[in-house]
Each structure stands twice: as structure tokens, then as C-alpha cells.
Amino acid sequence: MAEQPSARISEYFADLTDPRVERGKRHALLDIFVIALCAIICGADSWVEMEAYGKAKEEWLREFWALPNGIPAHDTFARVLARLDPEEVQGCFLRWIRALSEVTAGAVIAMDGKTLRRSFDRASGKGAITMVSAWATANQLVLGQQKVDEKSNEITAIPGLLNVLAMEGCLVTIDAMGCQREIAQRILSKGADYVLALKGNQGTLYEEVDGFFRWARARKFAEVAHTT
């Protein structure tokens, strides 16, 4: 008999720390998390929409989870998910994703930073959230994400994301923001290759690369080891 999806997900999220005290637990942590995850995949972007999704799909959800106290209220989603450790969630999520999809040697992993829609909160003085994502182009799958600190930029977030990814034999592409020695070395240390964009505002480096290609093209790359 095929393994139940609930058992498989439980295996990868077993280490997720429940932030609640025992007397306040009416719903299993995994029930709350999985319903929220399914709701987000289906387009929900608020706590109320997560509750609405759960109620609309309750019959289907009970095929995999007992849900002894029904669907959590939107306030429950808000309180519980806000208190989870983001790095812990990411670690569990990455283990699950790796089990679902194998990134093969030679695959392209595209890394890029994007600002999350509607994440700016003027009332609380919080700026918009920027996330750096690693996208496996062949698998059409996000392998991992790293939040950019409000007082920093993508340069500091990229190495953190590289550390948690399995990318041996892959080709990592990053825009000009990632054209840094430390980032290039980090990719090589993970057994991968890289293609980094280079812009004219990176003065000396740009001039050296431009000069090298002018020289190599003039000689039709006869003195340069290369493949095509």
C-alpha cells in the first residue's frame, strides 16, 4: 500500500519546535502548518484566507489528518506561525523538497532577489521584505530562500542560502549583485560552477574581463583553453 502523504511530511517536519504550552494545544502543529502551506500554494495570502481554505477543503484534508478539533481559526494560524523559528522551518522544508525532487548534475540553479508584494508596513515602520531565492530551472522548483536583513543587501544573504543548498555538479547563475569573490569561492567549495553577471560599474574587474575577451577574440581563442 502506498505511504500516506501525512506520514512522509511528518518525517521531514518532526524536528519543528512547537512554541505553544501544552494547555493551549487544540490543534496539532503539523495540522496548522500543512493547512497553511496548502492554502498558500493555492493563492491564500492572509490568515483569514487560510482558515477559509481549510474549511472549504476539510473533507479532503481529513483523508490524511484526523483534525480532531476541526480547522484552526485564523487567529490560531497567525499566533502559531508567527512564533515558529524561520531557520528551523527552512531546514525542515529543504529536507522535504530534496526528497521530492532530485537536482541532477549539470542543472542550472538561478539565484535572484525579489521584494515581496504587500510586505511594506508603514504603520509599524517596517520596510518591504526582500527574499533571495534559489530556483532549479529544470525542476521548476524553489530550492530555498533567505531573507535579506533590513540593514543589509543581497550580498550578505546569498552566502547564507548557498550554505544550505546541495548543488554539487550544478551551474549557479546570479546577477551582478552576486559578482563577489566570496560568493564565487563559496559556490566552488560546494562543488558547483558559476555564471556571474558583470556590469560596467565594477570598474577594474569589468575592464580586465573586457580586455581579456578582446584579446582572446582577436586570436580566435587559440591560446585559451575553452569548450563550446
- 69 pLDDT tier (thresholds 50, 70, 90): very high
**Is 117 found in the same domain as 186?**
yes
Pair 117, 61 in one domain: no
Q: What is the pLDDT of residue 125?
A: 63
Q: Which three cell numbers stand for residue 184?
A: 564565487
What phi and psi values does residue 198 have, to the nearest 5 degrees? Answer: -130, 125
SS3 3: coil
> Using one digit for the tens of pLDDT, what is the confidence trace for 100-151?
666 666 789 999 888 776 666 666 666 677 888 888 888 777 888 888 876 6
- Whether residue 74 is found in the same domain as residue 108: no
Report the percentage of the chain scoring pLDDT > 70: 87
- How much is the mean pLDDT over the chain? 85
Whole-number pLDDT of residue 104 = 63
Candidates 52, 25, 27, 26; CA nearest to 38 is 52
Is residue 1 predicted with pLDDT exceeding 50? no
- What's the pLDDT band for 13 if we cut at 50, 70, 90? confident
- Residue 199 reports pLDDT greater than 80: yes
pLDDT of residue 151: 61
Confirm if 192 and 185 have CB atoms less than 8 A apart: no
User: Region 171-197: what's the mean pLDDT?
Assistant: 92
112 and 175 within one domain: yes
Domain that holds residue 54: 5-89
Is 227 within the bounds of a domain? Answer: no
159, pLDDT greater than 50: yes
pLDDT, position 58: 95
Q: Radius of gyration (Cα) for the chain, nearest Å?
A: 22
- Evaluate whether residue 207 is within a structural domain: no
Q: Mean pLDDT throughout 81-105? A: 77
The CATH number assigned to the domain holding 114 equals 3.30.420.10
